[in-house]
Copies of this chain bind each other. A is one copy, B any other.
Amino acid sequence: MDLENFSSRLLQEAVDEFAKLPGIGKKTALRLVLHLLNRDKEEVSQFGNTIIKLRNEIQRCQSCQVISDSDICPICADASRDHTLICVVENSRDVMAIESTHQYQGIYHVLGGIISPMDGIGPSDLNLQSLQEKLAAGEVREIILALSTTMEGDTTNFYLYRKFRGYDIRITTLARGVSIGDDLEYADELTLGKSIMNRTLFENTLSSQ
């Protein structure tokens, strides 16, 4: 069905707004808008106002650039975490992903993007200033490069490695290997090859569980 036959201009405008969101087509947008029409006015006002408030009031942590309600995010403000260990990630979603593993006690640094010539994103578009200040002040012992395992991620890893190797710090990256729960026969050859080259002592896998 083509959707040019709206009985209401208000309805059409709301559908058009929803259809601007990524992955939401006109049909899905219409379904969402009709759902909102069946909800209480107060609930719908709260929905709209929450979005507006979010966009107007959200900040980035001045220390690590993660999305935050305050100048300094709860992770950077936590004195019990290891501030000499910094995990470098692309965006705030990656911070949430790593936090949900409950395996990491250091702090983060959010780049806000990765180097991607195709998208016109170069090194100067990355948030690097606050990280560089910490490195220059000698506050950092190790940085972990935790970017996507794509060509863009590898390019950015290499750029950061060259930029920071002059400092007296360890520069590490995430272990590459076979996913836990994966059937070996379905692992890709590159990953499987790396996981054999970088094999770990079996007794170490026991102690980490």
Chain A residues close to B by CB (< 8 Å): 1-11, 13-14, 17, 20-24, 28, 30-37, 39, 41, 44-58, 61, 66-69, 73-75, 91-93, 95-97, 99-100
Contact = CB atoms under 8 A, between A and B. Distances in A.
B31 A23 contact: yes
A96 B47 contact: no
Contacts of A51: 14, 17, 33, 36, 44, 47-48
Contact of A53 (B10, B30, B56, B58): B10
Given A17-B46, A31-B22, A100-B1, A54 B6 contact: no
B57 A10 contact: yes
A159 to B, nearest CB: 23
Given A37-B58, A45-B52, A52-B49, A95 B7 contact: yes
A48 B11 CA distance: 14
22 contacts: A1-B97, A4-B100, A5-B100, A7-B66, A7-B74, A7-B95, A10-B58, A11-B67, A17-B50, A17-B51, A21-B36, A22-B31, A22-B32, A23-B31, A24-B32, A30-B93, A33-B51, A34-B92, A41-B55, A44-B55, A47-B48, A48-B50
